[in-house]
Amino acid sequence: MISTERLNIWPLEPQDLAKNYSWANDGGLCRLIGALPMPKPFREIEGWFSNVTADPETHVFSIKLKDGCHIGNAELRDLDLRCGACELGIMIGESRYRGQGYGSEAVKGVCGFAFRQLRLHRIKVRVLQYNEPAFAMFKRCGFTLEGTEREAFWQDGRHWDIRIMSLLCSEFERK
């Protein structure tokens, strides 16, 4: 378990999937993370859970308040232990808990785990052009914009850029 000031961050468990089911069917949230905007049955969420928990290159976490309330998820994926690199994904699925610092607190907790326990060197995030809150949050957490995949994502009848940001272990420790 990763403990921060207001959060406990756990490996995702089967009893957490009810929340994931509702988040996976939240159209506004799917748009922000670039997930397919279509109804997802519970068995699809269970299939996703089986796949990610069996995948040695992925760690999926539930983000919980100290009282146990499950407010979001984080994921370290595409773990490359030779290069010490991975990609981070995060969502505060419960919209009423956004904008209160929980996202950045969770990012710092998960990055601390990745750099100190997994001994990674670099963490990458991919942020859709229209997702300003996420871009601002990662910047505030010390991530640097390193490039753009131009017009790489199709949504709302047009193409959007994907912004690539990264954080190095040395930058995290300096902060």
Ligand X SMILES: CC(C)(COP(=O)(O)OP(=O)(O)OC[C@H]1O[C@@H](n2cnc3c(N)ncnc32)[C@H](O)[C@@H]1OP(=O)(O)O)[C@@H](O)C(=O)NCCC(=O)NCCS
Residues making contact with ligand X (CB under 6 A): 29, 32-33, 90-92, 98-104, 125, 127, 131-134, 136-137, 140
CB of 82: closest distance to ligand X in angstroms? 25
Query: Is the CB of 119 or the CB of 149 nearer to ligand X?
Result: 149
Q: How many residues does the chain have?
A: 175
In the numeric block, the tokens 């773990």 are attached to 79
DSSP 91-119: E--SGGGTTSSHHHHHHHHHHHIIIIIS-
Query: Is the CB of 81 or the CB of 136 nearer to ligand X?
Result: 136
CB of 96: closest distance to ligand X in angstroms? 10
Query: Is the CB of 79 or the CB of 126 nearer to ligand X?
Result: 126
CB of 44: closest distance to ligand X in angstroms? 19
Query: Is the CB of 60 or the CB of 90 nearer to ligand X?
Result: 90
CB of 89: closest distance to ligand X in angstroms? 6
β-partners of residue 73 are 62, 91
Residue 132: HSE in the Cβ half-sphere, 13 Å Cα cutoff: 0
In the numeric block, the tokens 């999926």 are attached to 60
3-state secondary structure of 27: helix
